[in-house]
């Protein structure tokens, strides 16, 4: 590949990586509290739909992204009620949420006439003075959400590692019985984690429609939510490792159009399967390298039933 192709590839990688990063971070928040969330694909679609609808109606990208986060949190209430209060199997509930959101967003999007309706998104922000560097300055010209993703990750990592609230949330996911004995309300904490995590997943979906593509197409997330689920396992529930993994998948996805632009002919279905093949490879690598002491929450996927004290 020529130098210009490589430069364009690296410059476009953050745009492709941000949805993976935000969705994985949202899942980490949810699963650190012990709730297994497989509904990321559906929540991303909800965020994408509401984000583009708000952008068409209001023309304010910041407001559109916030409304998308709120919409994903509202939809996640249904999931939270099922798995936390009614103790429905978390795998089945997550899959049902995906199918529900896929049908709902496709229906609403077509009825509202939002399909293929182009809008104005967020422009690029140059990181001065790095953007002035000859040759590589383009790497530091990204949209505001790319720059905002880094402090979001820093805040969540600090929250888990340095705050008493974050430690309580981790305790709920590690040993809910001990946390309950310490006076922590397991149901409330898990409910709050689902809402907060789903808001970030919705933001990931809104990024695709409002910032990246600037339009709505049914099913436009294209399986990114499922890849984010695998990315969380690859990262061992660590925010910073999830960010590195998101950059890896962003590199892979950004490389495909650059190869096409360079004249490299690739079969269409090979291109479509590439991110999922990489996901399978990562999962196998994680399974082979799994050791005791890994960071998987001890009570992940397990409903909590409080024992009556005598």
Q: What is the pLDDT of residue 258?
A: 79
For residues 283-298, give the mean pLDDT.
72
> What angle (nearest 5°) sits at the alpha carbon of residue 54, between those of residues 49 and 57?
125
The pLDDT tens digits of the residues spanning 141-179 come to: 999 999 999 999 999 999 999 999 999 999 999 999 999
User: What is the C-alpha separation between 295 and 76, in angstroms, rounded?
Assistant: 25
pLDDT tier at 290, thresholds 50, 70, 90: low
Asked whether residue 68 carries a pLDDT value surpassing 60, the answer given is: yes
308 phi/psi in degrees, rounded to 5:
-75, 130
User: Which of left, alpha, beta for 183 (phi over 0: left; psi -120 to 50: alpha)?
Assistant: left
For residues 189-198, give the mean pLDDT.
97
Q: What is the pLDDT of residue 8?
A: 86
Q: Which residues contact 19 (CB under 8 A, 6 or more apart)?
A: 44, 204, 205, 207, 208, 212, 221, 224, 228
Give the pairing of strands 141-143 and 124-126. Answer: antiparallel
Mean pLDDT rounded to a whole number for the chain: 90
Least confident among 48-52, 194-198, 222-226, 255-259: 255-259
pLDDT tier at 310, thresholds 50, 70, 90: very low
Q: What is the pLDDT of residue 294?
A: 57
Tell me the whole-structure pTM to 2 decimals: 0.92
User: What is the C-alpha separation between 291 and 294, in angstroms, rounded?
Assistant: 6
The pLDDT tens digits of the residues spanning 251-269 come to: 988 888 877 777 777 776 7
Q: Which helix (H) or strand (E) holds 275?
A: helix 268-288
Query: Pick from 270, 279, 203, 226: which is nearest to 248 by CA?
Result: 279
């Amino acid at each position: 590949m020529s130098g210009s192709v490589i430069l364009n590839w690296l410059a476009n990688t953050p745009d492709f990586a941000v949805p993976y990063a935000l969705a994985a971070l949202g899942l980490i928040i949810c699963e650190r509290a012990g709730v297994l969330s497989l509904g990321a694909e559906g929540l991303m679609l909800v965020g994408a739909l509401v984000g583009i609808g708000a952008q068409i109606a209001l023309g304010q990208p910041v407001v559109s992204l916030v409304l998308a986060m709120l919409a994903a949190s509202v939809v996640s209430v249904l999931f939270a009620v099922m798995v936390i209060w009614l103790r429905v199997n978390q795998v089945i509930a997550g899959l049902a949420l995906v199918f529900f959101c896929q049908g709902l967003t496709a229906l609403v999007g077509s009825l509202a006439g939002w399909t293929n309706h182009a809008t104005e998104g967020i422009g690029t922000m140059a990181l001065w003075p790095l953007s002035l560097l000859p040759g590589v300055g383009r790497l530091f010209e990204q949209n505001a959400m790319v720059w905002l993703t880094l402090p979001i990750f820093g805040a969540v990592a600090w929250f888990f590692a340095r705050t008493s609230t974050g430690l309580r949330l981790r305790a709920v996911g590690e040993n809910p019985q001990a946390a309950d004995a310490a006076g922590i309300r397991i149901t409330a904490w898990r409910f709050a984690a689902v809402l907060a995590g789903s808001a970030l997943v919705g933001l990931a979906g809104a990024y695709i429609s409002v910032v990246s593509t600037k339009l709505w197409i049914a099913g436009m997330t294209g399986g990114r939510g499922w890849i984010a689920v695998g990315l969380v396992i690859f990262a061992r529930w660590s925010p910073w490792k999830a960010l590195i993994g998101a950059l890896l998948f962003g590199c892979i996805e950004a490389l495909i159009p650059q190869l096409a632009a360079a004249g490299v002919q690739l079969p269409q279905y090979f291109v479509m399967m590439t991110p999922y093949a990489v996901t399978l490879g990562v999962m196998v690598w994680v399974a082979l390298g799994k050791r005791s002491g890994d960071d998987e929450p001890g009570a992940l996927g397990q409903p909590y039933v409080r024992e009556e004290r005598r």
